[in-house]
Amino acid sequence: MISRLSRRSQQLVAAVVLSACVGVVGGGLAAWAIYARFGPVERVVTQTINVGGGGTASSAAGIGQQASPAIVEIATRSIGPQDLLGGTSGLADGFIVSSDGLVVTSIHAVHGATALNIATADGRLFPATIVRADPVHGIVALRAANAQGLTPLPFASQDPRPGDVVVAVGHSPFSPLTLSTGVVSSTGRPLALGDGEPVLADALTVDATPDPRQDGAPLLSGAGAVVGVVVDAAGSAPGVVALSGRAAADLVQSISSGSAPAPTLGAASIVVDAATAAAAGMPPGALVRTVAVGGPAAQAGLQPGDVVTSVSGTSIDSAHPFDAEALGLTPSQDVTVTFWRGGATQSVTLTVGAAGSASG
């Protein structure tokens, strides 16, 4: 009796194993047939973005639709029907940040403009002027003349972090909305857009396919708030590249409050502690990473790789970085900058600039 049950059990196990093998082989053959007929099959998913903080999940499409009234097209020269048919450039993206016509975009998007006009999603056209720019971060604010009742986008209260899901929402001819969704891959990085171009500070990258037509468009969080300003990096960095959303918010705040432009030294740097400095064979201080073209640091002769050790007698360290606001400086103030370069210590006079000025 026992041997008979054992034989039946063995037969049952064999049948199960055989069925499994058939399933695996059959599935593999089916998969190979699909591949051979159609090539690799892309998996398509509907992505939702967790807003967090008690909010609900939103789709990228929903975020784009909600933001669409605030997305504008900026004509940087005279545009006609033939220009649209020929695919000629001359249009850039931007986004509304105040109901009375304040618009933010990238400096790169409006570089070389011969005229500025802003077209809203509902078909209105306004002549525009540049109000203030932040060349250190590559951001500019425009004013649409006599505009009222526009729909603005809010700025995020927190900076994006690697791993956050974000959406770039743009507008291009013949396509009301263009969306690029991805995960933030890096933040706080310097960005060079090309040879001879100034190096911009605090850019971020997104693991998504870039669209050059989104130059100047907003990069939005899952809550639909601005965390960056998209720029056409043209291969300068991987994925979608955006300029600092915090810098854009500060620029808008300085305009809205009527406050004076923030002071700037026109350079980005990182403080090197004593141990790291000793290992690198240099003095502790602020290692200059980038220098804005035409800015105060450039005019004073500072270069990337210089190590600033003091400003008007104040030693540079983690509590006193090479930053105009942190050092309590004001625009037009002259300071003495002591720095180390190639084994020698030097001192120069630097005139503090204003963040919104051409030389800031």
Q: Are residues 333 and 242 in the same domain?
A: no
- Under the banding of pLDDT at 50, 70 and 90, the label for residue 359 is very low
Say if residue 48's pLDDT is above 60. no
Q: How far apart are CA 244 and CA 173, in angstroms?
A: 26
Query: Which of these three, 259, 287, 306, is where a domain ends?
Result: 259
Predicted confidence at residue 289, as pLDDT, reads: 87
Same domain? For 56 and 122 the reply is yes
Domain match, 50 and 148 both? yes
Q: Is the CA virtual torsion 242, 244, 250, 254 positive or negative? A: negative
- The answer on 111 and 139 residing in a single domain is yes
pLDDT at 301 over 90: yes
- Say if residues 58 and 48 touch (Cβ distance below 8 Å): yes
Greater model confidence, 13 or 188: 188
- Residue 310, domain member (yes or no): yes
| pLDDT-wise least confident of 243-247, 255-259, 283-287 | 255-259
Burial class (CB in 10 A: 0-12, 13-18, 19+), 7: exposed
> Shortest CA distance to 102 belongs to which of 142, 146, 70?
142
CATH number at residue 343: 2.30.42.10
When pLDDT is cut at 50, 70 and 90, the band that residue 287 belongs to is very high
CA 269 to CA 286: how far, in whole Å?
6
pLDDT tens digits, one per residue of 268-283: 889 999 999 999 999 9
Q: Tell me the average pLDDT of the chain.
A: 81
Residue 18: pLDDT band (50, 70, 90) is: very low
pLDDT band for position 22 (cuts 50, 70, 90): very low
Cα separation, 167 vs 225, in Å, equals: 10
Please report whether residue 162 resides in a domain.
yes
The residues facing 139 across adjacent strands are 106, 134
Please check whether residues 253 and 273 belong to one and the same domain: no
Domain count, the chain: 3
Q: Domain containing 175 — which CATH number? A: 2.40.10.120
Query: Is the same domain home to 278 and 251?
Result: no
Q: How confident is the model at residue 16 (pLDDT cuts 50, 70, 90)?
A: very low
Query: Nearest-5° angle of CA 288, CA 205, CA 91?
Result: 105
Q: Is the pLDDT of residue 32 over 90?
A: no
Q: What's the whole-number mean pLDDT along residues 107-125?
A: 89
Whether 243 maps to a domain, the answer reads yes
Range of the domain at 252: 45-259
pLDDT band of 73, cuts 50, 70, 90 = very high
Residue 136, pLDDT > 50, answer yes
Whole-prediction pTM value? 0.62
Tens of pLDDT, residue by residue over 333-350, are 999 999 999 999 999 999
- Alpha-carbon distance 138 to 248, whole Å? 9
Going by the DSSP 8-state scheme, the letter that residue 198 receives in this structure is P
